[in-house]
Amino acid sequence: MEGLFLGSKTEAIRLLKPVTSVGTPTNKIIRSLPYTEAVKFLLPPDPVLTQRYSNQFSSGFARKPFPDKAIKSMREFLENVEGDFAGFFFLNWGGAVSRKAPKSTAFFWRKAKFYVEWNSSWIKQSEAAKNIAIVRNTRRKIQPFIVGSYINVPDQGIKNSGPVYYGANFPRLRRVKAKYDPGNVFQNPQSIPPAGRGKVN
User: Count of CB atoms within 10 A of residue 55's CB?
Assistant: 16
Q: How far apart are CA 118 and CA 177, in angstroms?
A: 30
Q: Which residue type occupies 147?
A: V
Alpha helices in 88-198 (DSSP H): 96-99, 128-142, 161-166, 170-180
Angstrom distance (rounded) from CA 2 to CA 89: 9
Q: Is the pLDDT of residue 178 over 50?
A: yes
The whole-angstrom separation of Cα 185 and Cα 171 is 19
**0.75 surpassed by pTM:** yes
Query: What contacts 85, CB < 8 A, 6 or more positions away?
Result: 44, 53, 55, 119, 121
User: Over 90: is that where the pLDDT of 49 sits?
Assistant: no
Burial-class residue 185 by CB neighbours within 10 Å (0-12, 13-18, 19+): exposed
Residue 1: what pLDDT?
76
Task: 193-198: list long-range contacts, CB under 8 Å, 24+ apart.
Answer: 193/162, 195/171
**Beta-bridge partner residues of 88:** 118
- Taking only the tens place, the pLDDT of each residue in 103-158 is 999 999 999 999 999 999 998 889 999 999 999 999 999 999 999 999 999 999 99
Q: What are phi and psi of 171, to 5 degrees?
A: -60, -40
**52-106: pLDDT as tens digits:** 789 999 999 999 999 999 999 999 999 999 887 899 999 999 899 999 999 999 9
